[in-house]
Chains A and B, each alone.
Chain A
């Protein structure tokens, strides 16, 4: 039993990471009307910034993280202003391809800036474990879970209760009407890219200590986040987040009880099968297209 709880606890931690990434993707999807395939690599890039600030410039970790957050906001703004702004006449498919091109740019630039050797980034809370119901979880893990939940709650509070959140939801619902009603949609999309960047780098900083900081750092998170959006449905903000936590839990269960090698892949296949029965995800509903 305690092993099971152990697994659940760890899953909440990885689930938080997936949820942050999925939230980043769904925010962009619903405000810029594009699937940001580059979310993961941009997060990787900004995590490298954090690592560099920490390793090469000797900044304390928390300061390095803030540096990474600033970098993430900057990269988000740059992507929106330099590229997405100019895509008025571009089809949604072409916009997705632009984000794919973005992957190539970031993957090419990262080694030039940061070199090719894997780097290490320590955990936010170095050591210490807490015992829960016979299982143990590190303080860092608890912190990650708490931070993830806090950010999630904060984001949903902003979305549902504040003027800015209303602006985002209106833009997400219909950009044209939003503009007509005076919503500053240009600022909304810019802010969305900034927020997505920040969510990405936080996910990256949480992931990095578990492995090492390389080009592939966020690959698995990225795919899982996208599949979480499929699982949870693209029509809501909370669907992908719920999907992400579910995937985190199921993944670890599969890895432990079924196959430690193929657990992740089995999860993807299971979800693809799930889609056959519930095409619009757990929460999504079929959109009736206007003809």
Chain B
């Protein structure tokens, strides 16, 4: 089975969340990132690799150093996505409102007939 590589996998792990939290403030070299964690450089590298595969981080070469940077261009997309979900609930409230007025009209009609 192919490993799932999406944002949810990316942030499922506390170390990866911490890595994102670090490099979002400013780009850091792999070594600088690794120093912040109480684990082997290889272990940190693996997390960074997963984050790049998930599209959250890009590695940019500057001279001899490789810098980890967050990919900020995707951010707007996320807001849109949550906006879409919000709209989904607005639709649900619309549905409630429509139904409410239908019941109200039916009640009023019944009263008038009496």
A in complex with B: no
Interface residues of A (CB under 8 A from B): none
